[in-house]
Structure 1
Amino acid sequence: MNRFYFIISLLLYQIFSFQDLYGKQTEKDDNIFYIEEAKDYANIIEYMDYYVDPSSQLGIQDISSPEYINKFEPVSDIHVVYEAFDQNIWLRLKIKNLENIHNHSWYFESWGFDINQFTYYFPNPDGSFTANTSGYDFPFYQRNIKHKNFNYLLDIRPGEQKTYYFKVKRSYPLAFNLHLRTNEKFIAHTLNEYYFLGIYYGVLTLILVFNLYLVYKLRDTLYLYFAGLILACIWFSFGRDGLGFQYLWPNHPEFNFLTQGNITQVAVVIATLLFSNRFVQKYNTSSLMFRATIIAIILKFVLFFIQDTLFHIEGRTYIGLTISIMLVPFSIGLRLLLKSKIYSWSYIFAYACLFLVIINSHTIAFALFDDQVINWYFVHPVIFLEVVLFSLSIFNQMKFLQEQYKTVSEEKTLALEEKNRLADELNNKLQQKVKERTEKIENMAKDLASKNVQLQTTNLKLQELNTQVNQINEYLRKNNEQLRTNMEEVTKNLALMKGLDFESFKNVFPDKDSCLQFLSELKWKDKYICRKCGYNKYAEAPNHGRRCKNCNYFESPTVETLFHKLKFPIEKAFYILYLSNRKDVDLTLNELSEILDLRRETCWAFKNKITQAMEKVGHNKDLSGWENLVLVHLE
C-alpha cells in the first residue's frame, strides 16, 4: 500500500511540475521582452506599448500609476503613430533577463538621433524613477553617454524583470529603430561606426582642401564650385548622422534645423548645378546651358519655398519635381559633351549618384531598403562615390585641356618656325645685296686711294696737270653721287620688301587662321587690356581671340583694326594692303580684281579705306612697312 501511495504521489508531482513548467512557458505570451543570450536585439519597438498624452502634462508618476497602466496599446508599426507631433508619446518596455551570466551590462539604444526630446526613466528599487532628458532641442552635454544616438544603461541583472518608460516628442513621423546590446557589442559597434565615418569625412576634407588649393593656384571657378559641392555634401551628411551637433555646435541645438533634409538637399542640388554648368562650359561654351542652369536653380528655390511655407508636397512628388528640374540642364550638358565628342562616363554616373541622394533624402516617403539602418546610412557611400566620380571627371578634363593646349602650342610653334624661315630667307637676300654693294664701295675706295698716291707723286706737276685734276675731281663727284643714290635704293628695298607676288605672299599668309594669328600677335604684342572692364587677365578663345577672365567679354583680333567688319577673305585684304604700300607695283582695279577673284567695287572700297588710314596716321611708304596700317581703326 505504501508503495502504491508513493507511485501516486510521484505521478501527481510530475503532473504539477509539468503544469508549472507549462505555465512559465506560457508567460512569454505576454508583451515582455526576454533576454536569453548575449547578442544584438533589433526591432525592440515591436515589444513595446505606447500611449499618446493629448495634454502633454502627464508625469512619470501618473503614467506608471494603475490608472494608466492599462491604457497603453501594443505597438503595431515602427512609426508608432503618424501624427501627434505636438503631443508627448509615452513608450513602455518590459524586460526580463533570462541569462545566467552576471558580467553582462545591457544598453538600450535609439538610432533616431534627431528626436526633438527623448526622456529616459530608470526604475529605482523604491518604485521611483530617475529621469534623463536629452534630444535635438537640448544641449549635447545633457546626455549620460556622449554619443550621437540615445544610449542608456539598463542595469538589469539575471533573473530580474524591470519596466522602463520613455517620453518622446518629435517633429516628423520618424521610424523608431531601437536596439538592445551588451557593453562589449555596444563599444565594438560604436568604434566601427565612428571609424568609418571618420574615414568618410577625412577623405571628403582632403578633396576639399585640394580643390581650395587649385582655386588659389589656377583661379578657376570650376574648383570653387566643386569645393562648394563638397561642403554641401558634408553639410547634407551632418543631417544624416548627427555628427555636426556632436562636434561642431554641441551647445547650440538651435542650429540643428539647418541640417533638415529639405535645406541640405537644396544646397546639394544648387552646388551640383553650378559645378555642372562650369564643367560643361569648359568643353563647349553655351549660353543655353547657362540659362537652363539659372532657371533650374530658381525653380528649385521656388519648390523649396512652396514646400515649407504655402502647402505640403508629398515626398514622392517632391522627389519627382526635383529630379525633373535637374534633368533639363543635365540633358543639355550631356548633348554639348557628345557634340564635342567627350564621353565622360564618370560625370554621368556621378549625376546618377546625385539622384540616389535626392531619393534617399526622403526615406520616409521612399525607402530603398527594408533595413532602416542601411536605408539611412546608404547615402554616405553614395555621396562618397559621387564626389570621387566628379573628381575623376575633373582629372579627365584637365588631361583633355592639357592635350588640347599641347596641340595648339605645337601648331603655333610650326607657324612661328615657318615665319622665322621666311624672315631668314629675306634677310639672307638683303645681306647678299649689301655685301655686293659693300665690295663695290671697297673697290672704289681702293681706286681712290691709288689715285691719291698718283696725285701726291705728281704734286710738282700740279700746274701743268690742273685740267686733268679738275676732270678727275668731276669724275669723283659723279661716283659719290651714284654711290649715295645706290645706298638710298638699298634702304628703300629693305623697307618695302620688294619682290613678292600674290602666290609668294600666300606662302607667308596662306589662310584666314595665319592672318588672324599674325593680327592677334601684332595687336596684343605689348599687353592685353579688356576694352569693357580694363582687366588684364585673359583666356585664349577661338580664332585667336581673347576672353576677359573678369567680365567674360570676348574680343576678336579684327576689332578696331583696318579689317573690322570685313566682308571678304582677310588673306586677300592682307595682299591688297601689302600692294598699296609698294611703289614699284601699280595694278589697276581690273587686274587686282582678276588676281584676287573679287568684285572691282570690293577692291576699290578697301583700297579707299587703306588710303583713309594712310592719311589718318600720315603713313610714309618709303620708311614704314605695310603692317603699320593694320591697327588703324576707322569709325
Structure 2
Amino acid sequence: MNIFLIRNIFLVFTIQMYCIFPLFSAESLFTVSEPITLSNEKEQYYITNQVEYLEDPTGKLSIDNILTESIQRGFQKSDNPYTDFDNVDAVLWVRVRIKNDRSVQNEAWIFESWGFDIEKVTFYIPERDGVFYENEAGYGLPFDTRAFPHKNLNQLINVRPGESKTFYLRVHRNYLMGFSFHVRKHDQFISHATNEYFFLGIYYGVLSIVLFFTIYLLMKQREPIYAYFAFFLFSCIWYSLGRDGLGFQYLWPNIPEVNLLTKRILTQLLLVVSALLFANHFVQKLAKDLWVKCSTWSAIVLIILLTINQELGMKINDQLVLVLITLVLLVPIILMVRALIRINQISWAHSFALVCMLIVILQSYASEANFDLFDNAIVNWYFANPVIFAEVIFFSISIFNQIGYLQKKGLEADRDLNIVLREKNRLQDELNNKLKKRVKKRTEKINDLANELSLKNRQLLTANNKLRQLNEQVISENKTLSLSNIELREGLEKTTQAMVLMKGFDFGEFQKIFPDRDACCKFLSELKWANGFHCRKCGYNKATSTKAFGRRCRNCNYNESATSNTLFHKIKFPIEKAFYMLYLSNRKDVSLTLNELSEIIELRRETCWAFKNKIEASKEKIDFNGELNGWETLALVDLESDKEI
C-alpha cells in the first residue's frame, strides 16, 4: 500500500471525525505549539521556521475541515523552507499562531510572504465570532485583487496587545518553491518596501538607460555586437521582472496569463542563450576563433536539451543538472578567456563580466535545485540583481575598450596609408624629375643635330650656286645633291615634330598608372579629402566609405562621390582619358592639336575640344600659375559649385 493511498484514507477518516464531534471555538484548538510572540524589543520577525505546515494531496480540504482537532494534530514544523520535495501539486496549509505581548496600542502588523509567484494563496483571518474572513491573491489572479498593492503577498493581521490569534494560508504552488515568511510592524514594512523599490528602481533604471543607449548605437553604427548586447540586456531585464514580480505589478497587472512567459524555464533559457551569444560575438570581434564558436553553440544546444528533458522527459536530479550546466558553461568561457589572452586583449573588465555571467546563470539554476548560496533569504533572492548589474557595467566597459582598440587599429591603418601615400608621392616626384632630365637631354641633343643640319644645308646651297654653271654631269650630280637635301629637310621636320611631341608620359604609359575608373576615383578621392572629410550639407567631419571611393556622412547620410564638385563632374567619357587630357594641359613642352589628341586617346574631336575648354575655364577660375604638378590642383576645381549643394 503506497503512501498516497494511506494519506487519502487518513483524510477520509478525519472528515468523518469532524462530522461526529462538535466544533468548538477556533481558539480552543490552538494548543499544539508555542505561538510567535510580538515583544517590545523587536518590530520585525522572520517566521519561516516557526510556522506549521500541512499537506493536502487532494486539495479538497476546506477551512472547516482544517479546524477539526484530528487535522490540527497533523500540522508540523518543516526543517527547510521548501516544506517537502515530493508532491509539488499538493495544496499546502500554513498555520501561523501570533501572540501580541507589546504594550503599545494602535499598531498595525503585516504578514509578508516573499513567494510572490505563488499561483494562488487564500488568507484566512479570524474574526471575533470564530468565523474566518477570506482574502485571495496570487500570480494567477489579477494584481488589483490584492489587499496590498505590493509585489509580495501581504496581509494585515488584526492582533491587538494581549490577544493571541491563529491565521491560516491555503497555498497552491506551480513549482517546488522555497517560502520566506515575515511579520513586520507597519512602519518597518513601509521602510523595507521603500528601500526595496528604491534599489530596484536604480537597478532597472541603469539597465534601461544602457539598453536604450545600446539601441541608439545599433541604429547609428549598424554593428551586430550592439544587437547582441541589446538582446542580452533585454533578457536580464525580463529575467528580473519575472523574478521579483515588478512586471506583474506595473506592466501587465490585469493579465496574469502573461506570467507564464516569466516562468524560470523561459527566462533562464533566454538569459543563457543571450549571454553566450553576446560573449561569443564579443570574442569573435577581436579574435576569430572556431573553437569558441563551436563550443558556444554546443553549450546552447546542450542546455536547451537539458531544460526540455527536465520539463517533458526523464527528469534528472536538479543538483546533478546544476553540475552538468556548470561543466557545459565552463568550456566556452575558458576558451573565450584563452582566445583573449592569445591576442593580449584580456582585461579585468572582460574577466569580471564573464565570471558574473557564469554566476548569474548558475544562481538561477541553483535556486531551482534547492541549493542556497547564503543563509540569508534576502541575499539569496536578490543576489542575481547586483551580479547582473555588475555584469552589465563590466560588459559596457569591455565594449568601450573594444571600441578604443578598434579606433587604435584604425589610426594605425590611417598612419600606414599616409606613409604609403607619401612614399607614392616621393616616387612620383622622383620619376617626374628623371623624366624632366631625360627630356631636357633629348631636346639638347636634337637642337645640336638641327644646328648641324642647318649648317650643312647652307654649305650645300653655296656649293649648288657655284656648280650651277658646270656641265650636265655637274647638273646631274647637283640634282642628286638636291634630292639628298630634300631628304635631310624631311628628316629635320620629323626630328622637330618628335621634339615637339616629347611630353613625358605617352597615353600607353599613362594608362599603366591610371588603368581604369577605379584607379582615377581612388586618386581623386585622396586629393579631394587629403585634409579630412567635411560634409557639404551639414558640415559634419565623420564619414564612411562607399563604392567608387565616395563618402557618406555619418550625421545626415549625404552621399558625395569622388568626382562630384571636381573638374570631372558629370563627364560623359572615360575619366582616365580626361585625366590624360588634364595632364597634357599642364605640360609646357607639349602642344598637340585637337586632331592629334583625338587620335591618341580615341575620342571625338568635339569631345576633346569641350573638355579642353573646361580645363581652360578652371585655370581662369583659380588664376593658375602653371606649376608642374598643377594638373592635380586643376582636378579639384568645381565649375558647377552654383548648381551643387
Structure 2 partner of 1:227: 230
Provide the rounded CA distance (Å) in 2 between the counterparts of 1:160 and 1:539: 82
1:43 shift after superposition: 3.0
Provide the rounded CA distance (Å) in 2 between the counterparts of 1:350 and 1:156: 49
Provide the rounded CA distance (Å) in 2 between the counterparts of 1:539 and 1:336: 33
User: What is the root-mean-square deviation of aligned Cα atoms in Å?
Assistant: 3.8
SS across alignment from 1:165: strand
Larger mean CA deviation between 117-126 and 66-75 belongs to 66-75
> Does structure 2 conserve the Cα–Cα contact (< 8 Å) formed by 1:42 and 1:177?
no
1:126 shift after superposition: 2.1
Where do residues 178-577 of structure 1 align in structure 2 (5 Å cutoff)?
178-361=181-364, 362-363=366-367, 364-431=369-436, 477-488=490-501, 490=503, 495-496=508-509, 522=519, 525=522
> Does structure 2 conserve the Cα–Cα contact (< 8 Å) formed by 1:113 and 1:135?
yes
1:367 shift after superposition: 0.9
Query: Aligned letter for 1:224?
Result: A
> Does structure 1 conserve the Cα–Cα contact (< 8 Å) formed by 2:439 and 2:504?
no
Q: Deviations over 1:140-189 (max 9, x none)?
A: 11111010101111122211222211111112332221111111111111
Provide the rounded CA distance (Å) in 2 between the counterparts of 1:330 and 1:340: 16
Q: Deviations over 1:562-602 (max 9, x none)?
A: xxxxxxxxxxxxxxxxxxxxxxxxxxxxxxxxxxxxxxxxx
SS across alignment from 1:132: strand
SS across alignment from 1:186: helix
Provide the rounded CA distance (Å) in 2 between the counterparts of 1:370 and 1:134: 28
Structure 2 partner of 1:163: 166
Specify whether residues 38 and 194 from structure 1 end up closer, same or farther in structure 2 by C-alpha distance, changes over 3 A only.
Answer: farther
The runs of 4+ residues in structure 1 deviating greater than 6 Å are 435-447, 467-475, 518-521, 537-540
> Does structure 2 conserve the Cα–Cα contact (< 8 Å) formed by 1:31 and 1:48?
no
SS across alignment from 2:49: helix
Q: Deviations over 1:324-377 (max 9, x none)?
A: 222222232222222212222322222211222122112243211011111111
SS across alignment from 1:197: helix
SS across alignment from 1:122: strand
Structure 2 partner of 1:109: 112
Query: Aligned letter for 1:297?
Result: I
Provide the rounded CA distance (Å) in 2 between the counterparts of 1:229 and 1:520: 45
> Does structure 2 conserve the Cα–Cα contact (< 8 Å) formed by 1:99 and 1:159?
yes
Specify whether residues 313 and 84 from structure 1 end up closer, same or farther in structure 2 by C-alpha distance, changes over 3 A only.
Answer: closer
Larger mean CA deviation between 51-60 and 224-233 belongs to 51-60
Q: Deviations over 1:508-531 (max 9, x none)?
A: 9xxxxxxxxx9998599599xxxx
Q: Are 1:59 and 2:59 an aligned pair?
A: no
Structure 2 partner of 1:43: 46
Query: Aligned letter for 2:158?
Result: D
1:474 shift after superposition: 7.8
SS across alignment from 1:45: coil
1:494 shift after superposition: 7.6
Structure 1 partner of 2:153: 150
SS across alignment from 1:46: coil
Structure 2 partner of 1:137: 140
SS across alignment from 1:341: coil
Query: Aligned letter for 2:415?
Result: E
Provide the rounded CA distance (Å) in 1 between the counterparts of 2:175 and 2:301: 27
> Does structure 1 conserve the Cα–Cα contact (< 8 Å) formed by 2:35 and 2:99?
yes
1:255 shift after superposition: 2.3
Provide the rounded CA distance (Å) in 1 between the counterparts of 2:521 and 2:382: 56
1:431 shift after superposition: 4.3
1:200 shift after superposition: 0.3
* Identical aligned residues as a percent: 38
Q: Deviations over 1:245-279 (max 9, x none)?
A: 11222222222232222322221111122112211
SS across alignment from 2:151: coil
Is there any run of 5+ residues in structure 1 with no aligned partner, and where? Answer: 1-26, 448-466, 498-507, 509-517, 528-536, 541-621, 625-635
1:53 shift after superposition: 2.4
TM-score for the superposition, normalised by structure 2 = 0.66
1:92 shift after superposition: 1.6
SS across alignment from 1:181: strand
Structure 1 partner of 2:579: none
Query: Aligned letter for 2:295?
Result: A
1:436 shift after superposition: 7.2
> Does structure 1 conserve the Cα–Cα contact (< 8 Å) formed by 2:228 and 2:277?
yes
> Does structure 2 conserve the Cα–Cα contact (< 8 Å) formed by 1:350 and 1:385?
yes
Query: Aligned letter for 1:120?
Result: F
> Does structure 1 conserve the Cα–Cα contact (< 8 Å) formed by 2:435 and 2:504?
no
Specify whether residues 519 and 336 from structure 1 end up closer, same or farther in structure 2 by C-alpha distance, changes over 3 A only.
Answer: farther
Specify whether residues 526 and 229 from structure 1 end up closer, same or farther in structure 2 by C-alpha distance, changes over 3 A only.
Answer: farther
Query: Aligned letter for 2:412?
Result: T
1:106 shift after superposition: 0.8
Specify whether residues 107 and 206 from structure 1 end up closer, same or farther in structure 2 by C-alpha distance, changes over 3 A only.
Answer: same
Q: Deviations over 1:427-475 (max 9, x none)?
A: 234345556778999999999xxxxxxxxxxxxxxxxxxx999999887
Query: Aligned letter for 2:361?
Result: I
Where do residues 593-632 of structure 1 align in structure 2 (5 Å cutoff)?
none
Q: Deviations over 1:372-393 (max 9, x none)?
A: 1111111110111111111111
> Does structure 2 conserve the Cα–Cα contact (< 8 Å) formed by 1:113 and 1:148?
yes
1:208 shift after superposition: 0.9
1:74 shift after superposition: 3.8
Q: How many residues align?
A: 473
SS across alignment from 2:95: strand
Where do residues 25-44 of structure 1 align in structure 2 (5 Å cutoff)?
30-37=33-40, 39-44=42-47
Query: Aligned letter for 1:160?
Result: E
Structure 2 partner of 1:83: 86
Provide the rounded CA distance (Å) in 2 between the counterparts of 1:401 and 1:98: 68
Provide the rounded CA distance (Å) in 1 between the counterparts of 2:394 and 2:500: 71
Specify whether residues 347 and 524 from structure 1 end up closer, same or farther in structure 2 by C-alpha distance, changes over 3 A only.
Answer: farther
> Does structure 1 conserve the Cα–Cα contact (< 8 Å) formed by 2:44 and 2:188?
no
Specify whether residues 444 and 103 from structure 1 end up closer, same or farther in structure 2 by C-alpha distance, changes over 3 A only.
Answer: farther
Provide the rounded CA distance (Å) in 2 between the counterparts of 1:70 and 1:29: 7
Provide the rounded CA distance (Å) in 1 between the counterparts of 2:332 and 2:394: 19
Specify whether residues 58 and 524 from structure 1 end up closer, same or farther in structure 2 by C-alpha distance, changes over 3 A only.
Answer: farther
> Does structure 1 conserve the Cα–Cα contact (< 8 Å) formed by 2:276 and 2:296?
yes
